[in-house]
Amino acid sequence: MIRLPYISAAALAGVCAACVFATAVAAEDQTTDIGTLDKETAVKAFPAKPPYSPYAGRNFPTRPYFGDTHTHTSYSMDAGAFGARLGPKDAYRFAKGEEVIASSGQPAKLSRPLDFMVVADHSDGMGFFPQLVGGDPGLLATPQGRKWYDEINSGNGAEAAIDIITSFGKGQMPKGFPTPGTPAYRSAWRETIKAAEEANEPGRFTAFIGYEWTSNAGGNNLHRNIIWRDNGAKASLVEPYTTLTPLGSPNPRDLWKWMAMVEEKTGAEILALAHNGNLSNGRMFPIIESFNGKRIDREYAENRTRWEPLYEATQMKGDGETHPFLSPNDEFANYERWDKGNLDLTEVKKPEMLEFEYVRSALKNGLKMEAELGVNPYKFGLVGSTDTHTGLAAVEEDNFFGKTSSSEPSAGRATHPFVKTDKAVIMGWETTAAGYAAVWAAENTREAIFDAMKRRETYATTGPRMVVRFFGGWDFEAADANNRMPARVGYTKGVPMGGDLNSAPNGKSPSFLVAALKDPIGANLDRIQVIKGWVGKDGQAQERVYDVAVSGGRTIDADGRSKTSVGSTVDVTNATWTNTIGAGEMITVWKDPDFDPALRAFYYVRVIEIPTPRWTAYDAKYFGIKMPAEVRMTTTERAYTSPIWYTP
């Protein structure tokens, strides 16, 4: 019995007619106009005549790049205090797949190199030496000073360093010479830039220049990472914005002003992405601004959406997609939850804070505020990242190097408190081995990945490198799931994740091409879900979870859910599992069965893996220890895509 589908090349070309030119145009649209993929016009403007070769003109992204937008090194004051010894150079080397010696003395290596990374050290306290040797005339007038200065500047500073320290110890410094601790020497920012410039290899590995602006007023996490599209020449024209007054500010509005200044005065392009709303105690996605007590206005909304195209939805300090309190009908909502209080646990969590902390509720409130203000402040795409403070972006469950250097692999790390106050305690085992950022860029360069981030063509994973595609349009049909080139049909007939659908054609509901491929060395997939959020006629925000593809021959009921669990093959004692359940790949076309063209909505995809051992199980096995009963030993890794928005 042969069931091999034969599709002739001509038929194939027919299916993809129109797509070749349209794709090229759409790609241009994407870069100039964030999120607006005006495919319809493009098709009309360029009547289709495909070239003979089906592969010609294919310049859309063909594979996702995986990276981390959030690695701290010893340049971060808190990381250094926890014993981190690895700097930005080490962090980039590790990301590229080199073996390094971790701060705790253990060798560490990734299973596979990452494609890109942002070393994002805290701007506050980053500069040990806020100024390079400035060539102060008074100083250069002394023979010693002249000698050292020349040595340092000619790169022969090894002896100079020892000599300076010796002279310093003996009190024999020339007057005015910059010594460690006095205004001078060198700037950690310049070193950060230098490390990124050295590590950056267009086409092979992208090292972004960036930092973290760590606004933490009252212990409430409003942190943002800042990323440059540009090279060091532009980034070194400014120094990072801090949160400490008088130079800096903890208010995001001031950060945005600074970002506008940077773009205007240096010609650079930068973006910001926030993280850990779960530790902001109701302040990350506000409706009432915490800094002035007023309702968000249009200026706030415009700036937020302009400067913050992405949000880091999952990382070591817990998952930020949604919370069981907010999504009571979502059985996958209770994932790696950190909801005891704010970042330093000085204030406990109250349920009414949750709505302003999580991705899904923020996306919902964004729709409501768009109706009110004309601009959606919370129109962001999703990535995951690590927030490691070890210089090691190692978040696979069997290769988890911890949040800080003191929590690198050791027998006691799981049962040692991570934060402890009189109000609450978060244990070491609660830290999450997550996550990575996946970006659909046409090539592995700063420019291409940055542009993809700006147009939100990204998704978050909790660590596994699964491939996830998500396209929305009006004309997807079941046969598209069998197309030879799913990506091409996706870009031709619709917009990718992060994009927009506008004004529904008469009588049509949006349809979506949804696909996922498991991590080649990871676990099979349980199911693919579409999460829909919308604002009803009554002005109330709603949400609903649809199972759109499930593995193992299970069925999806009329209500759009598959209530049968995929099961589990996890052997906790031995920290193993098998891919005998689940599916390696899934693809489907899903049409919204409850669409109302008059209502604003968003759709994003969640891919769930089959259960696997959590990092705590690998620790227990490796160190031969017994974990306390409350320690979670299995996990269901997942991916979240950026939404596609529908606006009437």
Partner 1 sequence: MIARLLREPLLQFLALGAMLFGLHGLVGKRSAEAPEKIVVSASRIANLGDGFARTWRRSPNEQELQGLIEDYIRDEVFYREGRAAGLDRDDVIIRRRVRQKMEFLADDMSVPEPSDEQLAAYLASNPERFRAEDQITFHQVFLSVTRRANTIESDSKQVASVLARADGAADAMALGDPFLLGEEFHGVSPSKITGIFGEDFSKQIAAMEAGRWQGPISSGFGQHFVFISERISGGSPLLDAVRPAVRREWANAQRLEAERKLYASLRERYEIVVEAPSAKAAEAASR
Q: Which of 23, 216, 220, 242 binds partner 1 (CB under 8 A)?
A: 242
Q: How many CA atoms lie within 13 A of 545 on its CB side?
A: 22
| Of residues 229 and 518, the one with the C-beta less far from partner 1 | 518
* 49 CB burial (10 A radius; 0-12, 13-18, 19+): exposed
Q: Tell which positions 325-354 bind partner 1, by CB under 8 A.
A: none
Q: Tell which positions 370-389 bind partner 1, by CB under 8 A.
A: none
| Of residues 92 and 646, the one with the C-beta less far from partner 1 | 92
Specify the length of the chain in residues: 648
Q: Which of 113, 218, 324, 597 binds partner 1 (CB under 8 A)?
A: 113
Q: Tell which positions 526-565 bind partner 1, by CB under 8 A.
A: 551
Q: Tell which positions 570-589 bind partner 1, by CB under 8 A.
A: 579, 583-587
| Of residues 139 and 316, the one with the C-beta less far from partner 1 | 139
Q: Tell which positions 10-49 bind partner 1, by CB under 8 A.
A: 12
| Of residues 97 and 374, the one with the C-beta less far from partner 1 | 97
| Of residues 27 and 301, the one with the C-beta less far from partner 1 | 27
Q: Tell which positions 424-483 bind partner 1, by CB under 8 A.
A: 465, 467, 469, 482-483
Minimum distance between the CB of residue 184 and partner 1, rounded to whole angstroms? Answer: 9
Q: Tell which positions 244-273 bind partner 1, by CB under 8 A.
A: 245-248, 258, 261-262, 265-266
Q: Tell which positions 156-195 bind partner 1, by CB under 8 A.
A: 156-158, 160-162, 164-165, 180-181, 183, 185-186, 191
Asked if residues 300 and 308 have their Cβ atoms less than 8 Å apart, the reply is: no
| Of residues 7 and 45, the one with the C-beta less far from partner 1 | 7
Q: Tell which positions 498-517 bind partner 1, by CB under 8 A.
A: 515-517
Give the per-residue contact string, 81-100, with partner 1 (x = CB under 8 A; - = no).
x-x-----x---x---x---
Residue 56, token pair as written in the block: 């010609």
Examine residue 237 and tell whether it contacts partner 1 (CB under 8 A).
yes
| Of residues 98 and 372, the one with the C-beta less far from partner 1 | 98
Q: b/e map of 548-562 (b: 16 or more CB within 10 Å)?
A: bbbbbeeebeeebbb
Examine residue 606 and tell whether it contacts partner 1 (CB under 8 A).
no
| Of residues 185 and 378, the one with the C-beta less far from partner 1 | 185
Q: Which of 351, 520, 567, 593 binds partner 1 (CB under 8 A)?
A: 520
Give the per-residue contact string, 190-219, with partner 1 (x = CB under 8 A; - = no).
-x------xx-x------------------
Which one of the spans 235-243, 282-290, 330-338, 591-599 is the region binding partner 1 (CB under 8 A)?
Answer: 235-243
Residues binding partner 1: number (CB under 8 A)? 87
| Of residues 199 and 343, the one with the C-beta less far from partner 1 | 199
Task: Find the DSSP H helices in 64-128.
Answer: 77-81, 88-95
Examine residue 521 and tell whether it contacts partner 1 (CB under 8 A).
yes
| Of residues 265 and 295, the one with the C-beta less far from partner 1 | 265
> What angle do the packed helices 486-493 and 19-32 form, to 10 degrees?
70
Angle at 594 between CA 592 and CA 597, to 5 degrees: 85
SS3 466: coil
Residue 493, token pair as written in the block: 């007939």
Q: DSSP letter string over 415-440?
A: GSEEEE-SS-EEEGGGS----EEEE-
Task: Find the DSSP H helices in 62-142.
Answer: 77-81, 88-95, 137-140
Examine residue 109 and tell whether it contacts partner 1 (CB under 8 A).
no
* 44 CB burial (10 A radius; 0-12, 13-18, 19+): exposed
Asked if residues 633 and 617 have their Cβ atoms less than 8 Å apart, the reply is: yes
Examine residue 55 and tell whether it contacts partner 1 (CB under 8 A).
yes
Contacts for 501-508 with beta carbons within 8 Å, 24 or more apart? 501/472, 501/473, 501/474, 501/644, 501/645, 501/646, 501/647, 502/646, 502/647, 502/648, 503/597, 503/648, 504/474, 504/595, 504/597, 504/646, 504/648, 505/474, 508/474
| Of residues 458 and 616, the one with the C-beta less far from partner 1 | 458
As a 3-state breakdown, the chain gives helix, strand, coil percent values, each rounded to 5, of 25, 20, 50
Peptide bond into 246 cis (omega under 30): yes
Q: How far apart are CA 614 and CA 432, in angstroms?
A: 9
Q: Tell which positions 132-151 bind partner 1, by CB under 8 A.
A: 151
